[in-house]
């Protein structure tokens, strides 16, 4: 677990939102293994994972389009 936390800390310098979503979803996942998670928490985990994957799959073209839309 220490290695994962070290890597997450390294990545968080450049991508804090990605790491925040990962940590939140992973925390819910660990709680679910103990049987301590309800339906709403599971939904929140999926929201966090979806945001994480959208960021990971984002292309340079997507970045340029979103920047143009906000200008």
Segments making up each domain of the chain, as ranges: 2-65
At a CB cut-off of 8 Å and minimum separation 6, what does 21 contact? Answer: 48, 49, 51, 52, 55
| Sequential pLDDT tens for the chain (71 residues) | 567 677 778 777 887 788 888 888 888 888 888 887 888 988 998 898 898 888 888 876 666 666 556 55
DSSP 50-70: HHHHHHHH--HHHHHHHHHHH
């Amino acid at each position: 677990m220490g290695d994962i936390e070290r890597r997450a800390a390294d990545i968080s310098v450049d991508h804090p939102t990605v790491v925040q979503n990962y940590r939140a979803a992973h925390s819910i996942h660990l709680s679910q293994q103990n049987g301590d998670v309800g339906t709403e928490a599971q939904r929140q985990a999926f929201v966090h994972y979806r945001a994480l994957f959208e960021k990971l799959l984002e292309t340079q073209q997507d970045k340029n389009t979103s920047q143009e839309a906000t200008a």
